[in-house]
């Protein structure tokens, strides 16, 4: 008799045991959906079943007490099922419209804003930061909290021209990805090398190969094997710091923040786009990052006022042109901004060969 193949213990786990029963029953068989109010999605299945999903913002990095509180709300006011969206919003599903308002009331009372659907500013996608990653130059969650406190009303309303996705990334490698407006760490000085530690901690060939502009060379320093950086070539990307922590690039004064605009992942109404840098060298200024918030809000509200219906930020900039964008947003334009990587094939290390 044929043997059953042993399951491969990797990949995405099967989500079906955790789905709300109405979602499981009607999986892939939905007729239409609409949005009765901001923060609520209403799905109607071909079977006639209806589901209301209530979306609330969370802080993404949650302690166990907050998760228990959300689960208690799900048990008491919803039907015991929740799911998280990719932007760290939580959704509660109910199959009875009478449960929607009490659920919204309970979430609001517990401090979770209901919104983030349709043409709102959705929760900022942010990277793990110091909690979970080894190379951050700032606290992504802190900048998100400070900014979302100011954009709270844009989360609970749906009156932007189109949806607005924001992101923050706490290193230049940028696992936050493309966004309409993104806040990204920007190192402005080459790494400082602690030569006493390099030989013990770093795999030097791996570090040399990591540099995108071939600025790192092996070197003997004080009789010990170490590394040196050609500072004229270094573009301060920070890629050498993860495999070699003694090449410290984070600096309270010289690690800054930059703002990028016009990224989009979706194919809706236009092709995906890469974002471009529009402001740089902003101070990394916790706990409220006021200089960053001011520019993000200026860009956001200029877009809100000036864009046509259904234009994403990238479509709006495309229509008015970059010079007008800088004028309208009161941002200075310098030659260092809007790098679109034309010419990167010639000046970046795109092969696995080491060149000196
Ligand atoms: S943005 Fe960079 S530092 Fe922050 S979590 Fe992602 S990879 Fe780590
Ligand atoms: S990896 Fe980046 S930061 Fe490190 S030396 Fe090369 S260019 Fe400079």
DSSP state of 191: P
- Residue carrying structure tokens 């130059």: 137
146: Cβ–Cβ under 8 A, 6 or more apart, which residues?
A: 287, 288, 289, 293
Picking from 268, 265, 259, 276, the residue whose alpha carbon sits closest to that of residue 318 is 276
Q: Which atom of ligand 2 is nearest to the CA of 235?
A: 7
At 301-333, the pLDDT tens digits run 999 999 999 999 999 999 999 999 999 999 998
How many angstroms does the Cα of residue 260 sit away from the middle of ligand 1? 16
CA distances from 96 to 49, 51, 56 (A): 10, 7, 18
At 166-216, the pLDDT tens digits run 999 999 877 888 899 999 999 999 999 999 999 999 999 999 998 988 999
Whether the predicted pLDDT of 269 surpasses 80? yes
How many angstroms does the Cα of residue 247 sit away from the middle of ligand 2? 9
Closest ligand, as measured to the CA of 172: 1
Whether the predicted pLDDT of 107 surpasses 90? yes
Closest ligand, as measured to the CA of 60: 1
Whether the predicted pLDDT of 1 surpasses 70? no
Contacts 24+ apart (CB under 8 A), 320-324: 322/276
pLDDT at residue number 287 = 93
CA distances from 192 to 129, 229, 234, 242, 341 (A): 21, 9, 12, 14, 27
Contacts 24+ apart (CB under 8 A), 280-285: 280/186, 280/256, 280/336, 280/337, 281/186, 281/188, 281/256, 282/256, 282/257, 282/258, 283/256, 283/257, 284/137, 284/138, 284/185, 284/252, 284/255, 284/256, 284/257
Q: Which atom of ligand 1 is nearest to the CA of 176?
A: 1
pLDDT interval class at 66 (50, 70, 90): very high
| Token pair in block for residue 168 | 């923050």
CB-defined site of ligand 2, < 6 Å: 190-191, 210-211, 213, 215-216, 229, 234-240, 249
- Residue carrying structure tokens 């006022």: 305
Q: Which atom of ligand 2 is nearest to the CA of 241?
A: 4
DSSP 3-state assignment of 331? coil
pLDDT interval class at 337 (50, 70, 90): confident
- Residue carrying structure tokens 């860009």: 299
Whether the predicted pLDDT of 356 surpasses 90? no
Within 44-180, where are the H helices?
Answer: 64-77, 100-109, 140-150, 152-156
At 23-48, the pLDDT tens digits run 999 999 999 999 999 999 999 999 99
How many angstroms does the Cα of residue 185 sit away from the middle of ligand 1? 10
Q: Are 278 and 331 in contact (CB under 8 A)?
A: yes
Closest ligand, as measured to the CA of 185: 1
Q: Give the other-Cβ count within 10 Å of 74's Cβ.
A: 19
CB-defined site of ligand 1, < 6 Å: 127-129, 133, 135-136, 140, 169-171, 173-176
Q: Give the other-Cβ count within 10 Å of 92's Cβ.
A: 27
- Name which residue sits closest to atom 8 of ligand 2, judged by CA: 234
Q: Are 91 and 112 in contact (CB under 8 A)?
A: no
DSSP 3-state assignment of 296? helix
Closest ligand, as measured to the CA of 187: 2
| Token pair in block for residue 89 | 């919003």
Mean of the per-residue pLDDT values for the chain? Answer: 91
Q: Are 19 and 27 in contact (CB under 8 A)?
A: yes
How many angstroms does the Cα of residue 137 sit away from the middle of ligand 2? 15
Q: Which atom of ligand 1 is nearest to the CA of 137?
A: 3
| Token pair in block for residue 251 | 């600096």
Q: Which atom of ligand 1 is nearest to the CA of 127?
A: 5
- Residue carrying structure tokens 């193949």: 5
pTM of the complete model = 0.89
pLDDT interval class at 270 (50, 70, 90): confident
* Phi, psi of 13, rounded to the nearest 5 degrees: -65, 155
How many angstroms does the Cα of residue 347 sit away from the middle of ligand 2? 14
Spatial separation of the C-alpha atoms in residues 223 and 203, rounded to whole Å: 17
Closest ligand, as measured to the CA of 229: 2
How many angstroms does the Cα of residue 106 sit away from the middle of ligand 1? 34
- Name which residue sits closest to atom 4 of ligand 2, judged by CA: 240
At 109-153, the pLDDT tens digits run 999 999 999 999 999 988 888 888 888 888 888 889 999 999 999
Per cent of the chain over pLDDT 90 is: 72
| Token pair in block for residue 54 | 């209530």
How many angstroms does the Cα of residue 173 sit away from the middle of ligand 1? 7
How many angstroms does the Cα of residue 58 sit away from the middle of ligand 2? 35
């Amino acid at each position: 008799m044929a043997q059953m193949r042993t399951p491969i213990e990797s990949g995405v786990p099967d989500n079906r045991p955790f789905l709300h029963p109405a979602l499981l029953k009607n999986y892939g068989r939905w007729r239409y959906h609409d949005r009765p109010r901001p923060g609520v999605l209403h799905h109607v299945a071909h079977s006639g079943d209806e589901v209301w999903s209530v979306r609330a913002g969370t802080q993404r990095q949650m302690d166990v007490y907050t998760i228990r509180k959300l689960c208690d709300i799900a048990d008491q006011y919803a039907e015991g099922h929740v799911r998280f969206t990719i932007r760290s919003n939580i959704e509660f599903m109910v199959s009875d419209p009478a449960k929607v308002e009490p659920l919204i009331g309970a979430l609001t009372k517990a401090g979770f804003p209901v919104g983030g659907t349709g043409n709102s500013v959705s929760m900022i996608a942010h990277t793990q930061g110091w909690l979970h990653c080894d190379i951050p130059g700032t606290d992504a969650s802190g900048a998100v909290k400070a900014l979302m406190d100011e954009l709270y009303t844009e989360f609970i309303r749906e009156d932007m021209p189109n949806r607005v996705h924001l992101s923050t990334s706490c290193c230049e490698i940028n696992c936050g990805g493309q966004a309409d407006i993104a806040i990204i760490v920007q190192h402005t000085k080459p790494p400082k090398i602690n030569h006493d530690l390099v030989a013990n901690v770093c795999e030097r060939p791996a570090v040399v190969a990591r540099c995108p502009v071939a600025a790192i060379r092996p070197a003997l320093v004080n009789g010990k094997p170490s590394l040196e950086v050609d500072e004229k070539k270094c573009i301060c990307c920070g890629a050498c710091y993860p495999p070699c922590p003694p090449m410290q690039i984070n600096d309270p004064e010289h690690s800054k923040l930059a703002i990028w605009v016009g990224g989009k992942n979706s194919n809706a109404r236009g092709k995906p786009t890469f974002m471009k840098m529009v402001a740089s060298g902003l101070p990394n200024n916790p706990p409220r990052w006021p200089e960053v918030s001011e520019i993000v809000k200026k860009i956001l509200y200029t877009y809100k006022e000036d864009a046509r219906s259904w234009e994403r930020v990238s479509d709006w900039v495309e229509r008015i042109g970059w010079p007008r964008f800088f004028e309208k947003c009161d941002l200075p334009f310098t030659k260092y901004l809007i790098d679109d990587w034309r010419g990167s094939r010639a000046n970046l290390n795109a092969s696995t060969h080491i060149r000196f």
